[in-house]
Amino acid sequence: MGWDSLHGGGEQVGGSCHAKESTTDGAQPILAHGDVSVKFTRASGTRRGRIRRGYYSYSMNCLMTDRSTRLLDIGSNGPNGNWKMIRKQTDRWLVLIGILIAVVAADGRRQPPRTPYSRVFSFGDSLTDTGNAAILPITAGGPFTQPPYGMTFFHRPNGRASDGRLVIDFIVKGLGLPEPTPYLAGKTAADFQLGVNFAVGGSTALDPAFLKARGVTSFVPVSLSNETRWFDNALQLLGASADEQHMIAASSIFYFGEIGFNDYSFALSAGNGTVDVAVSLVPDVIAVIRSAVTKVIAAGARTVVVAGMIPIGCEPELLALFPGGATANDYYDPVSGCIKQFNNLAELHNRQLKRMILDLRRAHPGAAAIVRYADIYGPVTAAVASPAKYGFGGSPLAACCGGGGAPYNFNANFTGFCGTPGSTVCADGPCKSVSWDGIHYTEATNRLVARSILTRLPHTRSQALYK
C-alpha cells in the first residue's frame, strides 16, 4: 500500500500501547528455595527471531551445607555410621536426579517442533515492507519514516507503515526464523543469508505501464514482477550453482503478502469511486500473482503462502474519499459500516485467488499441499464488526493516528496525515484501534491477522502468537 496483543495484546501505559516481550534470558527459579542450583540451557526464540540461549534454574534444599563435616566423618561414628550416612546422602541425590530428569523431560515436551525452514522470502506492498520504501529514493523520507510510526514496539520509526510490527514480523517469530533483510538494504550473500524481504510500500501487482494503458496512474515504479526479479538476483548471490539455488529455495518459506490493493485503490480514484475499472483489473492482478508464485516454485520453493485481499471498503482512507451521500443506506454495510461495493471487489479478488491456488496445486502436484491461502479479509472484517470481542475500541473505522476528526480521522486532501504536522495519536492508544493511519493496520490488528495465518501453518511456535 502507499505511504504508504493478539487483539489488544499490548499493555496500555500512559495513553500509548507498549507491546509485552517475553524472553527466557536469565534464571527463572522453579523450586525457589535452598542453596544448590542446577542449571541447563535451551534454545529460545527472541523478538528478532534469532536464537539466544536462556536457562532455567532448579533449586533444592542444600544437601551438603558443610563440606568439611559431611559424607566421610571417619572416627566419630565408625565405619557403619559412615556408610549409613553415605547411603542416606546417595538416596537424596538419586531423588534429586530423578526430579531433574522429570522436569527436563517435561520441559522438552513443551518445546515447539523445530521449523524445517531456514529463512523467509517475502513479497508485497507496505503491509509487508520492513524497510525498502524507506530506502527507495521516491518514497524515502515519507511520513512513515517519522514519529509516531514505530512507537508501540520499536519506539522509533523503522521503515514499517505501522505503530509496531507487521504480519511478516509475527510470522517469522512464530516459525522461529530470523528477520529477513530488506532487499534494498543488502548487497552481498551474507546480507541475504537469513532471508530477504522484497516488499515495497506503494508497489503494485501490475506494471506501471500496464496500469497507465488502462487509465490508472501509479506512484511508485515497483511492481510484483520487479520484486521477483530481485529474488532472482538474491538467489544467484546465495547459491553458486543451480542445484545449490534449488536447495536454498526448497529449505525456505515464501510469503506473498497482500498485493493489488494499490492497483484497485488507484483505479477507484481514477473512476471517482466507481468500481468498473478496478473490477476489470482483477483477472490481470491474479494472473501476475500466479506468475510470481509459479516462478518461485520453479526455482525450488516447497512452501508458499499467498495472502488474500484486505477488506477495501473498511479502509478509513476510502471511506473519507468516497462518502455515500444520498445512497448511504445501500452504500454501507449495515453491520460493519464499510462500503459494500468495495468489499465486494475484495471478495471477488479472493475468490479468484483461491481458485488460482487450486489450479496451481493441480499443475504442480509436488507442491500441492504447501501452497496455502492466507486470509486477511476474515479477521479484519470480524474485528470491525465486533470490535469489543477482539479487544478493540468503539471506533474501528477511524484511524488512530491522523488529523481528520470524526468519523474516520482522515482528511480527503491528506492534510494532517499521520507523521505530518497536525496529526495526533488516539487517546486510548493504537492497541485499541484497527487502523493505524487510515491506510495501514496497527500492530494489534497485524497480530490478529498473523494468528489466523500461523494457526494454519505447521511448525509454528504457538507461544509467539501471544506476545
Do residues 16 and 429 touch, judged by C-beta distance below 8 A? yes
- Selecting among 16, 126, 203, 218, the annotated active-site residue is 126
Planar angle of CA 327, 433, 402, nearest 5 degrees: 75
Separation of alpha carbons 266 and 391, rounded Å: 32
Of 202, 216, 51, 29, give the one whose Cα is nearest residue 129: 202
Separation of alpha carbons 155 and 152, rounded Å: 6
Sheet holding 252-256, edge to edge: 181-182, 195-197, 119-123, 252-256, 303-307, 371-374
Cell numbers linked to 209: 505501464
- Selecting among 223, 435, 440, 452, the annotated active-site residue is 440
Of 439, 434, 377, 429, give the one whose Cα is nearest residue 404: 439
- Selecting among 263, 435, 437, 452, the annotated active-site residue is 437
Element (H, E) at 373: strand 371-374
Rounded to the nearest angstrom, the gap between the alpha carbon of residue 223 and the centroid of all alpha carbons in its chain is 21
Answer whether the bond into residue 116 is a cis peptide, omega within 30°.
no
Separation of alpha carbons 197 and 231, rounded Å: 9
Question: Rounded to 5 degrees, what are φ and ψ at 319?
Answer: -65, -35
Question: Rounded to 5 degrees, what are φ and ψ at 17?
Answer: -95, 130
* 35 exposure class (CB count in 10 Å sphere: 0-12, 13-18, 19+): exposed
Element (H, E) at 10: strand 10-13
Do residues 247 and 300 touch, judged by C-beta distance below 8 A? yes
- Which residue is associated with the grid cell 555410621? 81
Amino acid at 311: P
Torsion of CA 382, 388, 391, 397, to 10 degrees: 60
Active site residue 126: yes
Element (H, E) at 318: helix 316-321
Question: Rounded to 5 degrees, what are φ and ψ at 335?
Answer: -90, -50
Planar angle of CA 4, 9, 13, nearest 5 degrees: 90
Do residues 173 and 45 touch, judged by C-beta distance below 8 A? yes
Amino acid at 467: K
Residues annotated as catalytic are 126, 437, 440
